[in-house]
Amino acid sequence: FCSVKTSGKPAALDPNEPQNTAIAIYKFNKTTKTKSSKNNSPSELITLNERPKADSIVIRKRINRETYTIPEQCKDCPGENGGGVSLTANESKDLDAVMKKEFFNLRASDKISLWRSIPDTRHELCKIVKYPDDLPSASVVIVFKNERWSPVLRTVYSVLNRSPKKFLKEVILVDDQSDIEEMGQKLDDYCEEHFGELVRVLRAPSRLGLIKAKSYGAKHATGDVVVFLDAHCEANTGWLEPILARIKEKRSAVLCPSIDSISDQNMAYGNSGLGSVGGFWWSLHFQWIPIPKRIRDTQKSKIDPYPSPTMAGGLLAANREYFFEIGGYDEDMEVWGGENLELSFRTWMCGGSLEFVPCSRVGHIYRPGHPYNMTGAKGKDDVHGRNSMRLAEVWMDEYKRLYYVHRGDLKGKDYGDVEDRRAIRTRLNCHSFKWYLENVFPEKFIPDENVLAYGEVKNSNSHLCLDTLGKDEKGTIPLSIYSCQSTGSANQYLSLTKDYQLRREDGCAVTSDSISIVLINCNHSDHNQTWTHANNGTLVHHTSNLCLDVEGLSSNDQIKLKKCEPNKLSQQWLFKHYSK
């Protein structure tokens, strides 16, 4: 059972074994097919007394919820208990090429049992919760495009092995036209043989992209609850019950398990703790943020489900009928991206809630790239851009302007027809995006509301503007200068807040050496982050009492602090907009 070789022969039929739970599947192996075979159909059902030579048939138990048995764990196999796997020199040969193609260590994954053990990462309190016996049933939908055998099968086994049988209706695999040979007929055969009616493999009629593929799977689901997982996950002990229990309690709750990490380098399973909710960047990318105190305060116990403004998108559960009532997914979104924020905003705005469930834990391999092409028929090379445009146009009201600060290039571009999506808003009488920001995500910084000044910050004596030079605002980044972009650029968009921070979206200007300026995570109580914009145009850093100065600098240089001198033009700055 330890072997990751997945084509192992099932046990041969024992003539003494009671036959009532077994069926015979006539299974011709292509290479051993004899001339006398009239029919080479791989799975023609025959009766036992007609059966041919033992090695050309497969006899197996009829597998369903009652008869599926969890394979025995391998104690000394690599990767057990969620451990990372090291490769031998030989196994590491050309590993770079594998990593470039798959964006995770497939060689390591292939060494690990398909049903390996992982550490139970739940909080201790989760382990003693008693859930009702009459929970709704779940259909788990897993879509895949060019995913590989071992992570996909490990996802399936983790679900089958760690879900209470009576609550797991089925697993639905949706193959989004993968180009991987082994995920074809071999997968059908394996699933039929090992999982029977518990696992269905559906083949997408055309390349659907993950959003439509999820929709396609969900439309075939029959359980009360639909659960989506990416095809490179490992569901952990007790992952399903807390989700089903919460949906039983609240039909309109859309739920996400806590996402543990599986290393793309060595497949080590890591506990991600209990600390995050989902946010978003105005560029409409997903972002993790620490749980705001306001939200912690809503929890009676730290293992209670808690609200989150957004979700990452891959791992979620909802009452199946409710999911479609509030509009399923936008089927004109292509390939990848945007559907996660769309579903998040929509759920909240239309009367549901989005919640993270601390006691439900599922690991996910974070990959630095995608093993499939990201080209859409309409969104071409920028499917995320077009998908996000659709969501901004439907759900964000006037706040869509902040998306277009980032994506000025998309203004006026075609984003397809959104009337059906707008009709959902009308039908469900959904709240405004302003309501969402005020009530669901009051922490979200709105760069042009309730601030003293905003927009590009131009030096009076040059064509230079403060600029982040396109650096991702995660962590600490330098604040620099660059020639002003008259068309507007998110890199040059800063705000002077009412508590005197010079800030971008999440980063505030500070200095650590009284010379150079960096943006670090904004913190209202950090005096190092306080600035004054004096009447003479200077931007004065409070704690150092020095001024931003472009003297001697050119485009791409980091901006510097110098001794303040009134009337020195290189120290005079003008924001594009000043609030009245």
Should residue 575 be labelled a site residue for ligand LR7 when binding is judged by CB under 6 A?
Answer: no
The site for ligand LR7, by CB under 6 A, has a size of 24
Provide DSSP, 424-446.
Answer: HHHHTTPPPHHHHHHHT-TTS--
**Looking at 50-58, 227-235, 258-266, 488-496, which segment touches Mn ion (CB under 5 A)?**
227-235
**Looking at 41-49, 209-217, 218-226, 474-482, which segment touches ligand LR7 (CB under 6 A)?**
209-217
- CA 485 → CA 247, 412, 492, 504, 575, distances in Å? 50, 19, 8, 17, 13
CB 336 within 8 A of CB 210: yes
The amino acid at 470: G
Should residue 264 be labelled a site residue for ligand LR7 when binding is judged by CB under 6 A?
Answer: no
Should residue 147 be labelled a site residue for ligand LR7 when binding is judged by CB under 6 A?
Answer: yes
Using the structure block, give the residue that is written with the tokens 């969104």: 379
Should residue 148 be labelled a site residue for ligand LR7 when binding is judged by CB under 6 A?
Answer: no
CB 249 within 8 A of CB 350: no
CB 207 within 8 A of CB 177: yes
Nearer to Mn ion, 82 or 455 (CB): 82
Nearer to Mn ion, 147 or 382 (CB): 147
Phi/psi for 490 (5° steps) reads -60, -25
Should residue 329 be labelled a site residue for ligand LR7 when binding is judged by CB under 6 A?
Answer: no
Q: In the set 335, 354, 464, 518, which binds ligand LR7 (CB under 6 A)?
A: 335
Query: Least CB distance from residue 346 to ligand LR7, whole Å?
Result: 14
Should residue 234 be labelled a site residue for Mn ion when binding is judged by CB under 5 A?
Answer: no
The listed partner (ligand LR7, Mn ion, none) that binds 138, CB under 5 to 8 Å by sort, is: none
Should residue 332 be labelled a site residue for Mn ion when binding is judged by CB under 5 A?
Answer: no
Query: Least CB distance from residue 474 to Mn ion, whole Å?
Result: 19
Q: In the set 190, 336, 399, 433, which binds ligand LR7 (CB under 6 A)?
A: 336
Should residue 154 be labelled a site residue for ligand LR7 when binding is judged by CB under 6 A?
Answer: no
Tell me if residue 251 falls in helix, strand or coil: coil
* Cβ-proximal residues to 51 (8 Å cutoff; 6+ apart), any chain: 24, 26, 57
Should residue 145 be labelled a site residue for ligand LR7 when binding is judged by CB under 6 A?
Answer: yes
d(C-alpha 177, C-alpha 332), whole Å: 18
Where in 497-536 is the site for ligand LR7 (CB under 6 A)?
Answer: none
User: What b/e sequence results for 476-508 when a residue is b if at least 16 CB atoms lie within 10 Å of its CB, and e otherwise?
Assistant: ebebbbbebeeeebbbbbbbbbeebbbbbbbbb
d(C-alpha 508, C-alpha 529), whole Å: 6
Q: Any long-range contacts for 24-31 (C-beta under 8 Å, 24+ apart)?
A: 24/48, 24/51, 24/57, 24/58, 24/59, 25/57, 25/58, 25/59, 25/60, 25/192, 25/193, 26/51, 26/52, 26/56, 26/57, 27/56, 27/57, 27/58, 28/56, 29/56
Should residue 176 be labelled a site residue for Mn ion when binding is judged by CB under 5 A?
Answer: no
Nearer to ligand LR7, 104 or 115 (CB): 104
Query: Least CB distance from residue 320 to ligand LR7, whole Å?
Result: 18
Should residue 230 be labelled a site residue for Mn ion when binding is judged by CB under 5 A?
Answer: yes
Query: Least CB distance from residue 504 to Mn ion, whole Å?
Result: 28
Should residue 192 be labelled a site residue for Mn ion when binding is judged by CB under 5 A?
Answer: no
Q: Any long-range contacts for 465-473 (C-beta under 8 Å, 24+ apart)?
A: 465/492, 466/492, 466/494, 466/548, 466/559, 466/573, 467/491, 467/492, 468/492, 468/504, 468/507, 468/519, 469/556, 473/281, 473/504, 473/505, 473/506, 473/507, 473/519
Nearer to ligand LR7, 209 or 379 (CB): 209
Tell me if residue 179 falls in helix, strand or coil: coil
The listed partner (Mn ion, ligand LR7, none) that binds 209, CB under 5 to 8 Å by sort, is: ligand LR7
Should residue 484 be labelled a site residue for ligand LR7 when binding is judged by CB under 6 A?
Answer: no
**Looking at 101-109, 209-217, 222-230, 499-507, which segment touches Mn ion (CB under 5 A)?**
222-230
Should residue 372 be labelled a site residue for ligand LR7 when binding is judged by CB under 6 A?
Answer: yes
Task: Please state the length of the chain.
Answer: 580
Residue 154 CA, distance from chain mean position: 19
Beta bridge partners of 253: 353
d(C-alpha 493, C-alpha 87), whole Å: 47
Query: Least CB distance from residue 77 to ligand LR7, whole Å?
Result: 25
Should residue 225 be labelled a site residue for ligand LR7 when binding is judged by CB under 6 A?
Answer: no
d(C-alpha 110, C-alpha 115), whole Å: 12
Nearer to ligand LR7, 176 or 505 (CB): 176
The amino acid at 284: L
- CA 365 → CA 5, 147, 167, 546, distances in Å? 21, 12, 26, 47
Should residue 281 be labelled a site residue for ligand LR7 when binding is judged by CB under 6 A?
Answer: no
The amino acid at 460: S
The listed partner (ligand LR7, Mn ion, none) that binds 424, CB under 5 to 8 Å by sort, is: none
**Looking at 230-238, 417-425, 455-463, 495-503, which segment touches Mn ion (CB under 5 A)?**
230-238
Q: In the set 115, 144, 280, 403, which binds ligand LR7 (CB under 6 A)?
A: 144
**Looking at 36-44, 310-318, 484-492, 545-553, which segment touches ligand LR7 (CB under 6 A)?**
310-318
Query: Least CB distance from residue 470 to Mn ion, whole Å?
Result: 25
Should residue 176 be labelled a site residue for ligand LR7 when binding is judged by CB under 6 A?
Answer: yes
**Looking at 15-23, 225-233, 329-337, 435-443, which segment touches Mn ion (CB under 5 A)?**
225-233
Q: In the set 238, 305, 314, 328, which binds ligand LR7 (CB under 6 A)?
A: 314
Name the DSSP class of 345. H
CB 397 within 8 A of CB 354: no
Contact residues for Mn ion (CB under 5 A)?
A: 230
- Residues making contact with ligand LR7 (CB under 6 A): 143-145, 147, 176, 209-210, 213, 230-231, 259, 286, 312-315, 335-337, 339-340, 364, 370, 372
